[in-house]
Structure 1
Amino acid sequence: MSFSKFVSLVLIFHLLTPALVFSSSLSSSNGLSGIPKKFLDFAKRKEFVDWIVGVRRKIHENPELGYEEFETSKLIRSELDKLGIPYKYPVSVTGVVGFVGTGGPPFVALRADMDALPIQEEGDWEHRSKIPGKMHACGHDAHVSMTLGAAKILKEHVQEINGTVVLVFQPAEEGGGGAKKMVDEGVLDNVDAIFGLHVTHEDAIGTVASKSGPIFAGSGFFTAVISGRGGHAALPQHSIDPILAASNIIVSLQHLVSREADPFDSQVVTVGKFQGGSAFNVIPDSATIGGTFRAFLKTSLIQLKQRIEEVIKGQAAVLRCNATIDFHDKPVPLFPPTVNDNDLHEHFLEVAGDMLGNDKVKDLKPLMGSEDFAFYQEAIPGYIYLIGMQDESSPKLGAVHTPQFTINEDVLPYGAALQASLATTHLLKAELKPRSTEGHTHDEL
């Protein structure tokens, strides 16, 4: 055998050996299952906890509404800079997209929503909101912190990332369609899957809950102005009463679910706004109602929207009124149902079970709330889950979207470690599968 042939064989052996060892280690019982525990142990270190809690408190003190998250975005970029993680900015006005790993395929994404709500925070907590009338009342400050925490874990274990984790810091989840805007700008190009999480005050710390299939409803909103002719309350015959017409409309809208919807197709129509008149003895010229409609099927959402318009205009006409309707089609016409991918659910069960124990992974009953994470799921396979934060020995935490909402900061290491684990193990599994290039136009983001 010539020397050149011998050298070639040695080189081939060395090139193949890492792949063989890598494949063998993944197939072993400890290959993937040990990662979640290792990441959680890392996230529970005091220096990590102090850092992630500090990040969350800075965000909480300075809440910003949708597409106004400039300071939040600045903080995120500062932390990514400290970690040495490259990113794109701005994306969708205030969004940030970071990258951890090789920079090449396969790609998996983690999503965090950044915006706050127009709510005045109650209580005198040291780190309460410093911005009057604005508050992180849905846990997005925790979501951002946990995703930055996942980034820190991933960077520390970058040698275990066989591909690239895309960190999606998204604006305007609360009705602004931020996820749709991010998708339209190509954030998910070449990404194979995306994971999201949401804190919940309903479940205990150290537990998670989710399911495959529909998990949150799709939703739409409407406002209707019913116009009549005002007059004295003692002389209704000289007026056309929009209050009565609006009242009939509200009652009739309830029949859309009770009389027209399939009982096995969950739907909701709720009128939460009714404004009309300012005096007890005056019939006003107009009345305004507003509400929301929700369903787990997009076809049902479209049907509800059509019937709401027909009922409002028809009932107004019965009582000689006119009606104009605004479905608030901007920035998006309808928020689609949130539907978890079946394969990603199996992956979630394995990873969460390895980290927390199978008894801590709960099956979630579908909720009629909506999530713009659904826009990602319309583009690629996606999975979102709830992570508990209630300390069962402490008073009940306040509910989301209320001035009393609070975060149990003990949840932060759990969310950071679980997101990092889901991404890392997903990439490791993908490395063992033949990769299709169908639908992919390039190998880098």
Structure 2
Amino acid sequence: MTSLHARVKETFNYLHQNAEISWGEQETTDYIKSLLKEQGCDTTTFNDTTGIIGKFGTFDGNRPVVAIRADMDALWQNVRGTFQANHSCGHDAHMAMVLGLLWKIAADPLLKDQIALKFIFQPAEEVAGGALKMVEKGVVEDVDYLFGVHLRPIEETAMNHASPVIVHGANTAYTVEINGTDGHAARPHLTTNAIEVVYEIMAHLSSIHLNPRVPHSVKITSMTAGGKNTNIIPGAAKFTIDMRTQDNPTMDDLTDKVRGIFKAIADLHETDISITDIEHVPAAELNEEAIRIMEEAISSVLGGDQVDSPLITTGGDDFHFYTIKRPELKATMLGLGCDLHPGLHHPDMTFNHDALINGVNILYEAIRKTYKI
């Protein structure tokens, strides 16, 4: 094992053991800042959010700016009976690989005058807000190419394989409240039963029909209504809806139909149905040049027969807000095979840590090929 590989693994272990949830990644920010400073990066932090930007190379306008994004936040989940921050989506690995990329580049002093790299350590990917915050801060205004990386489950790609692009789908989640008045269980005609309203909404959701060639789904994922007394009809309820589509136009169609159902049932029952919170992640917008660069990088590191086809998944990632908000950005996300099981977001997710150096080397080659070095 090389010293670089060992350092990347050691960094991964530290980040894994010191996980922090969305918008709370302060110690992670401080830790990464210290490592960026060690390599001579110019760093930028923010007074109203976690996250950090590191700049390495020569920013004189004579060469394209390439950014590498790593997400920082962990999930809050039940791990063997205890709720805790847990890196079950691989963000600890993503940060370790991107830092490994910096160390590998910094080891070649001749590269510094040929490149202009931005390292974007982004908070709050899991709540779909961090990328938008970074866009708001202007961190990609001068960026020409943007590369990301994500561990992939074993069902999608094998160890020592990788895909040059992850074709994420769109994801929208609504938190919805029904605001009515409770009633006596003996007099159901005097109120509207919020549980029945939710049931009707659920039934209508199953009757939505969109283009069957585009994967899509809509379902209720949580619901609360009523209290301790069994003789009260609840007039209020709160529930969440998760909507997924493979592309952005289909998501627009689906949200229109779901909102139409809310309005029709609210009118029918003369009750108030309000969307109180929206989380949205757009589907991937693809760039052929960025994908080609990443494909060539994978082939250089792992071999041409280890390059997988585009990975199509209805899972989402807020990485794609960067290209939605700045369409001229040439971006792609590396899908890294790593023997990951049982699956992403599983509390006991694990993977082959030897894949970390594959990610470092592929990203390094992507940088070299972008600059034609």
TM-score, length-scaled by structure 1: 0.76
Decide whether the 8 Å contact of 1:112 with 1:196 is kept in 2. Answer: yes
AA paired with 1:300?
T
User: Relative to structure 1, is the Cα distance of residues 309 and 346 closer, same or farther in structure 2, using a 3 angstrom cutoff?
Assistant: same
User: Relative to structure 1, is the Cα distance of residues 152 and 89 closer, same or farther in structure 2, using a 3 angstrom cutoff?
Assistant: same
Aligned to 1:147: 98
Correspondence 1:418 to 2:372: no
Correspondence 1:175 to 2:127: yes
Q: Deviations over 1:90-112 (max 9, x none)?
A: 38622211122233322111110
Cα distance in structure 1, aligned partners of 2:73 and 2:48: 13
Correspondence 1:299 to 2:249: yes
Cα distance in structure 1, aligned partners of 2:237 and 2:11: 46
User: Relative to structure 1, is the Cα distance of residues 158 and 306 closer, same or farther in structure 2, using a 3 angstrom cutoff?
Assistant: farther
Decide whether the 8 Å contact of 2:296 with 2:366 is kept in 1. Answer: no
Cα distance in structure 1, aligned partners of 2:41 and 2:313: 36
> Aligned match of 1:409 in 325, 349, 353?
353
Correspondence 1:223 to 2:181: no
Equivalent residue pairs, number: 364
User: Relative to structure 1, is the Cα distance of residues 158 and 201 closer, same or farther in structure 2, using a 3 angstrom cutoff?
Assistant: farther
Decide whether the 8 Å contact of 1:91 with 1:182 is kept in 2. Answer: no
Decide whether the 8 Å contact of 2:216 with 2:244 is kept in 1. Answer: yes
User: Relative to structure 1, is the Cα distance of residues 253 and 419 closer, same or farther in structure 2, using a 3 angstrom cutoff?
Assistant: same
Decide whether the 8 Å contact of 1:228 with 1:320 is kept in 2. Answer: no
Decide whether the 8 Å contact of 2:128 with 2:281 is kept in 1. Answer: no
AA paired with 1:403?
P
Q: Structure 2: where are the runs of 5+ without partners?
A: none
Decide whether the 8 Å contact of 2:311 with 2:335 is kept in 1. Answer: no
Cα distance in structure 1, aligned partners of 2:275 and 2:302: 49
Correspondence 1:185 to 2:137: yes
The 10-residue stretch of structure 1 (78-87 or 90-99) with the greater mean CA deviation from structure 2: 90-99
Instruction: State the structure with more CA Rg.
Output: 1
AA paired with 1:117?
L
User: Relative to structure 1, is the Cα distance of residues 316 and 352 closer, same or farther in structure 2, using a 3 angstrom cutoff?
Assistant: same
Cα distance in structure 2, aligned partners of 1:191 and 1:228: 50
User: Relative to structure 1, is the Cα distance of residues 288 and 193 closer, same or farther in structure 2, using a 3 angstrom cutoff?
Assistant: same
Aligned to 1:311: 261
AA paired with 2:251?
L
Kindly report which structure 2 residues correspond to 1:32-71, keeping only aligned pairs within 5 A, or say none. Answer: 44-45=1-2, 47-71=3-27
Aligned to 1:119: 77
Correspondence 1:135 to 2:135: no
Cα distance in structure 2, aligned partners of 1:181 and 1:248: 37
User: Relative to structure 1, is the Cα distance of residues 189 and 320 closer, same or farther in structure 2, using a 3 angstrom cutoff?
Assistant: closer
Cα distance in structure 1, aligned partners of 2:336 and 2:168: 15
Aligned to 1:28: none
TM-score, length-scaled by structure 2: 0.90
Decide whether the 8 Å contact of 2:225 with 2:238 is kept in 1. Answer: yes
Cα distance in structure 1, aligned partners of 2:103 and 2:304: 26
Query: Percent same amino acid among aligned pairs?
Result: 27
Correspondence 1:389 to 2:338: yes
User: Relative to structure 1, is the Cα distance of residues 424 and 90 closer, same or farther in structure 2, using a 3 angstrom cutoff?
Assistant: farther
1:327 CA drift (Å): 4.0
Decide whether the 8 Å contact of 1:224 with 1:323 is kept in 2. Answer: yes
The CA RMSD over aligned residues, in Å, is 2.3
Decide whether the 8 Å contact of 2:300 with 2:365 is kept in 1. Answer: no
Moved over 4 A (4+): none
Higher relative strand content = 2
1:356 CA drift (Å): 0.4
Cα distance in structure 2, aligned partners of 1:397 and 1:167: 28
Higher relative helix content = 1
Q: Structure 1: where are the runs of 5+ without partners?
A: 1-43, 124-130, 391-395, 430-445
Cα distance in structure 1, aligned partners of 2:222 and 2:245: 20
Cα distance in structure 2, aligned partners of 1:180 and 1:254: 32
